[in-house]
Amino acid sequence: GTVFNLHPLILEDIVHTGQRPKFEEYDNGLFMVLKMLRFNTEDERVQGDQLSLFMSGKYLITFHEKPVDVFNPVRERIRKHRGRIREYGTDYLAYAMLDTILDNYIASIAAIGSRIEDLEEAVLEDPSNEVLNLITTYKREVHYLRKSIRPARELVMAFAKCDTEIVSEKIIPFLKDLQDLISQATEALDSYREMLSDQLNIYNTSVGNKLNEIMKILTIFAAIFIPLTFIAGIYGTNFEYLPELKFKYSYFIFWGIIVTVAGVMIGFFKKRGWM
């Protein structure tokens, strides 16, 4: 900070890695903070590390929260003198780094998006607790992506519109390309967010329909057994003078009545479309 004359607030933002993505202009340069995101396929989680950039007309300083290989393609272009990266200034180098970060945004969204799309069939065919856990997990990850990417969009817009000599006119078309990338990322993210909400609604509807079917069957059985229980209750009493009890064929008549009542009720339910 002393060597490059960095403002104390810049140093504070660099050290505290929980910063919201932002863009700030200082007298001696431009300062940017944003998240580098990647989707870890092993634990199905999005991992983010803070990147801080300070750019002046002569140098670009970056501070990484953790060692990363995200910028290896940029390093290779510098080593092999490929493209404009050696010919242009620090503004183009900053663009190249931001372009790499935004490409990773889109790759991370595509990775989690493919899994969200695969859930569509599972939600319709087998709305199990495992499916619900996956929906909840992906909603959490999409929320984290959204929390990091939407402020990054403001950063890119501010970078493209900043009025300073550090950013030359010939870089403006490249910055517009960054705007297109970050817009593409936010639109895809909003799309998957809505898809997850729809899947959760479908899951709740499917579970509710299954519960309704179960309750329907139980209600039908209960309705059938109510008159049967009534009949059995009458002839299960302990009164001595029940005329039918002394009749020779009372037992068979009793069963005939029960079967007839049950059959008539089942036929009635089927006719009304309740079964």
**What is the pLDDT averaged over residues 44-54?**
89
pLDDT score for 238: 67
pLDDT in tens, 144-187: 999 889 999 999 999 988 888 888 888 888 999 999 999 999 99
Using pLDDT thresholds of 50, 70 and 90, give the confidence band for residue 249: confident
φ and ψ of 162, to 5 deg: -65, 140
Angle at 260 between CA 258 and CA 266, to 5 degrees: 105
**What is the pLDDT averaged over residues 113-125?**
85
Using pLDDT thresholds of 50, 70 and 90, give the confidence band for residue 274: low
Answer whether residue 128 shows pLDDT above 70.
Answer: yes
Using pLDDT thresholds of 50, 70 and 90, give the confidence band for residue 250: confident
**What is the pLDDT averaged over residues 33-57?**
88
Burial group, residue 115, by CB count within 10 angstroms (0-12, 13-18, 19+):
middle
pLDDT score for 31: 94
Please report which helix (H) or strand (E) contains residue 146, including its range: helix 129-161
pLDDT score for 239: 64
**What is the pLDDT averaged over residues 228-243?**
74
Cα atoms in the Cβ-side hemisphere of radius 13 Å centred on 134: 19
Answer whether residue 126 shows pLDDT above 80.
Answer: no
The residue with greater pLDDT, 115 or 213, is 115
pLDDT score for 210: 79
pLDDT score for 55: 92
CA distance 140 to 135: 9
pLDDT score for 227: 82
State both tokens at 88: 């242009």
pLDDT score for 106: 92
- Pick from 170, 214, 221, 159: nearest CA to 30: 159
CA distance 67 to 36: 11
pLDDT in tens, 130-145: 888 888 889 999 999 9
Sequence-ordered list of residues with C-beta below 8 angstroms from that of 231, at least 6 positions apart, any chain: 254, 257, 258, 261
What is the percent of the chain with per-residue pLDDT over 70, rounded to a whole number?
A: 97
